[in-house]
Amino acid sequence: MLEGNRCEDVAEAIKANYPSADPGELIQKAGDHFGTVARADASVIRGWCLEAYRETYRKMVDIGDFANALKAIKELMNYAKQCSEPPQDQSDETAEPTPATQSETEM
């Protein structure tokens, strides 16, 4: 599924490798897992991304792929810059009304 295979292909692979398993049930459990992951806290996802970058960087250095190691560093630097910027308040309650929202509220 993570490799982009169709459900039918995944079901066939399950049948071939785990004949006693129910492919539909396993595919449903995978879907449920993806749903749980989608609701993960943003800080957990950011932490995972940082660790993935670190691991990618380490592997690139290990194999001598310094160009991609530098790309990983560049991406981390960009991320660090974004994180150091003050967050923008997206709340409607504290935001100054824009001309469009002002005219909408005056109608």
pLDDT tens across the length of the chain (107 residues):
878 889 999 999 999 999 999 999 999 999 999 999 999 998 898 888 889 999 999 999 999 999 999 999 998 888 888 877 776 665 555 445 444 444 444 44
- Report yes or no on 107 lying in a domain: no
Q: Is residue 15 part of a domain?
A: yes
Instruction: Examine the domain organization and report whether 73 and 57 are in the same domain.
Output: yes
Instruction: Answer whether residue 79 is part of any domain.
Output: yes
Token digits for 73? 């560093």
pTM of the model: 0.52
Q: Give the model's pLDDT for residue 58.
A: 94
Do 46 and 77 lie in one domain? The reply is: yes
Segments forming the whole domain that contains residue 50: 42-84
Q: How many helices (H) and strands (E) does the chain have?
A: 5, 0
> Exposed, middle or buried: residue 72 (CB in 10 Å: 0-12, 13-18, 19+)?
buried
- pLDDT value at position 104? 43
